[in-house]
Amino acid sequence: MGANDVEGGIGRGSRAGASGIILGSSATVSGEAPQLDAMARKAVIITVLGVLLYFVSGQAGYPLLVLSMCANGLVFSKFLSDWLLAKDNGTAEMRGVSDPIREGSEAFLRVMYGTILQISVAVMVIIFLAYQLRPDGMHGGINSLGSFTLGIVTVVSFALGAGCSAIAGYVSMWVAAQTNIRVASAARRSYMEALIICFRGGAFSAILVLALCVSGVTLLHR
């Protein structure tokens, strides 16, 4: 076998590997066809509804259209999580290692989010009180709302952002802990299968964070 043959084989393998990571193997795609069809139907319904609302809702059409796109992202995230959790979670020996890690991560999240909740409540109180110390007589633009209203709006905005961040962080961590053992189990059978599971586990977190981030900002749009 010549050097050109080796290089050609490596090149073809790299291109095939990149396609396999994104699309999955033919066996994987054919096996998940019903789930893909269901997801596609939901995406079409949400998109059509978003476009219709865009044309009939006037100025509110823009945020409604964006929210429909974010809803599609959440639907796709749900598809990825269902697909990941349907994979086998390894042998008893493997679960003996992964279960303590998962339990530890869940305990860490409970403690961390409990502390963050307490700090967030204190910060919201401080934000609200800070707006009450604004000098009277400020006019024009958003100042016409008044100190009390501005304080409430700011606190609600803070709570919405913190809530979206907390949901994205908790769910992403939980799915990541579930994905780890499934990647290790798939690696016993196929390098490509393990890579696809790993890639989709990361894609779940990325899409969920993006959808929740844009949704939160859009809900605050006026």
For residue 98, pLDDT beyond 60: yes
**Domain residue ranges in the chain:** 1-31, 85-219
- pLDDT band at residue 128 under the 50/70/90 scheme: very high
Quick one: average pLDDT of 73-101?
A: 88
* Coil, helix or strand at residue 91: coil
Mean pLDDT across the stretch 75-81?
91
Q: How far is CA 161 from CA 74, 141, 217, in A?
A: 17, 23, 8
Q: Which pLDDT belongs to residue 102?
A: 83
Q: Is the dihedral of CA 36, 81, 209, 213 positive or negative?
A: positive
Q: Lowest mean pLDDT of 2-16, 131-145, 175-189, 208-222, name the range.
A: 2-16
How far apart are alpha carbons 188 and 181 in whole angstroms? 11
User: How far apart are alpha carbons 208 and 144 in whole angstroms?
Assistant: 36
User: Whose structure tokens read 């961590």?
Assistant: 173
- How confident is the model over 36-52, as pLDDT tens digits? 788 888 888 888 998 89
